[in-house]
Amino acid sequence: MFGYYLDLALRSLKRNKALTVLMVLAIALGIGASMTTLTVLHVLSGDPLPGKSGQLYYPQIDPQDIRGMDPSKEPPEQVTLIDGLNLLRAGRADHQALMSGGSVPVQPEQSSLDPFYVEARYTTADFFAMFDAPFLYGHGWTAADGEAKAREVVIARSLNDKLFGGANSVGRTLRMAGTSFRVVGVLDSWQPNPHFYDLNTGSYAYGEQVFLPLQTMLELRLDRNGSSDCWGNGGGGVGNILPSNDCVWLQFWVQLDSPAKAAAYKEFLVHYSQDQKALGRFQRAPNVRLRNVMQWLDYQMVVPDDVRLQTALAFGFLLVCLVNTVGLMLAKFMRRAAELGVRRALGASRRALFAQLLIESGVIGLVGGIGGLLLAMFGLWLVRQRPSAYAALAHLDLSMLFTTFVLALCATLLAGLLPAWRACQVTPALQLKSN
């Protein structure tokens, strides 16, 4: 029966080419626009570390002075150096890392290369294990090396390619900011999107080229980038001057393998705040947060407003296209009242007619979906030409490809329901008589 209905549907669609093209076009445009924006939204709100992000938490504590205190306010989004080091050394989590970003000048040995700047991450040792950063050669530095302010560096694969021709450079020397560093590891291509562990760098398509121990950076006073929020008489944070103790400017991440551990850690943060208040360092009542990666990204609203707006607009457009299709299908089905009347008179049930008409709308949906897919690919190509940082990430993946067809098919079937029902209401006798 399905094959027969399909045949009928194709014949009917061929009979009225203009109307069919109009319907397919409307569906394709609507699907194309919504899939383009939905794909961008999907890419941007994706999980940077699938499988791991649920165990990574970003503790927030409130070290600010009493001025402007409001218990309902969120604590600062970063930590001070003192708190960061305290929490780090407390070592209450399965892994923990304190970090900040910056840029350092690289002075290559080759005379053919001019000195250039690279993005740097200053971090403590657990960073690599905690974020599952893949090593191509070597490994990270140890916590002891970090504390000893070792002149050790982990470099990204692209920098390794540029400086060492892609060879295993572990043990080689890299001169940066007038200091010689020993390469201890080379990371394979690794760029979590969004750049969740430090969103000050821009949320998307940002990757560091070198990773240095934080303590080494503190000693060498390397240039720091990123935000610093100060209160009271806090200041600094310009160029190589470190922000003062009344400033938050570091990111602190912990790995907690179970919800129980997370609850215990939150408890620990409250105790820590109380202790610091007793010591006179903190003035406010404990105000702590412990968000995991996805909660943190959500709270930081990393997905640009524009992208959300575009998605909303595109779905508004799809709705208009669908209403349009409903109208056109109604016209098309009603025009065939006579034919449907004959079929009814010959014994076809209403259900059979309904199924036949729905299959016809399904065919339109499928063709519209293919058109929409092509349009979405074109749309994403257009997105990639745009100047935004996330532009390069806009690619259709398999799940989105599947979603496109499901969306197109469901949308047109939904659009076909009303016209099909209406057309099934024909009274066979009346239709036969008028002919």
Partner 1 sequence: MQIQPILAALRKHRLATILITLEIALACAVLCNACFLIVNRVQQTQVVSGVDENALAALKLTGYDPTRGVDLNARVLDGLAKLPGVQSISAINQVPFGDHAGTAGITTDPDGKHFGGVVDFFVGGPGSFKALGVQVVAGRVPQPGDYQPVDFFVPDDSAVWVTRALAEHLWPGADPLGKEFWTGKFHFRVAGVLAHLARPYGGEGGPSTIEWSVYVPAQPGAQLAAVYLLRADPAQLPRVLRDARGAMATIAPDAVLDSKASQTIGTLRENYFRQDRVMAGILVGVITALLLVTALGIVGLASFWVQQRRRQIGIRRALGATRGDILRYFQTENFLIVTFGIVLGMLLAFALNLALMTHYELPRLPLYYLPIGALLLWALGQLAVLGPALRAAAVPPVVATRSV
State the Cα–Cα distance between residues 412 and 416, nearest whole angstrom: 6
User: Cβ of residue 77: shortest distance to partner 1, in angstroms?
Assistant: 14
**Residues contacting 81, CB < 8 A, separation 6+:** 218, 242, 243, 245, 249, 250
The upper half-sphere exposure of residue 211, i.e. CA atoms within 13 Å in the direction of its Cβ, equals 27
Q: Could you give the dihedral angle defined by the CA atoms of residues 44, 50, 55 and 60, in that order, rounded to the nearest 10 degrees? A: -10
Out of 319, 392, 406, 430, the residue judged to bind partner 1 by CB under 8 A:
319
User: Cβ of residue 326: shortest distance to partner 1, in angstroms?
Assistant: 6
Residue 418 interacts with partner 1 (CB under 8 A): yes or no: yes
Out of 316, 397, 399, 427, the residue judged to bind partner 1 by CB under 8 A:
316
Q: What are phi and psi of 428, to 5 degrees?
A: -55, -45
Which among 182-190, 255-263, 330-338, 400-408 is the span making contact with partner 1, rule CB under 8 A? Answer: 330-338
Closest CA to 376 of 398, 399, 395, 389: 395
Residue 239 interacts with partner 1 (CB under 8 A): yes or no: yes
Closest CA to 163 of 176, 150, 151: 176
Out of 143, 205, 218, 331, the residue judged to bind partner 1 by CB under 8 A:
331
SS3 402: helix
User: Cβ of residue 419: shortest distance to partner 1, in angstroms?
Assistant: 8
Closer CB to partner 1, 33 or 376, in the complex: 33
| x-marked contacts with partner 1 along 257-286 as a string, rule CB under 8 A | ------------------------------
Out of 233, 280, 346, 347, the residue judged to bind partner 1 by CB under 8 A:
233
Residue 116 interacts with partner 1 (CB under 8 A): yes or no: yes
Burial class (CB in 10 A: 0-12, 13-18, 19+), 48: buried
Q: Quick one: the chain helix, strand, coil %, rounded to 5? A: 50, 15, 35
Closer CB to partner 1, 20 or 100, in the complex: 20
Closest CA to 31 of 300, 370, 335, 293: 370
Out of 9, 24, 33, 426, the residue judged to bind partner 1 by CB under 8 A:
33
Which among 109-117, 270-278, 349-357, 359-367 is the span making contact with partner 1, rule CB under 8 A? Answer: 109-117
Cβ proximity of 102 and 222 under 8 Å: yes
Q: What are phi and psi of 239, to 5 degrees?
A: 55, -125
Out of 323, 406, 410, 429, the residue judged to bind partner 1 by CB under 8 A:
323
Closer CB to partner 1, 84 or 341, in the complex: 341
Residue ranges in contact with partner 1 by CB under 8 A: 19, 22, 25-26, 29-30, 33, 67-68, 105, 115-117, 232-233, 235, 238-241, 305-306, 308-310, 313-314, 316-317, 319-321, 323-324, 326-328, 330-332, 334-335, 386-388, 418, 422
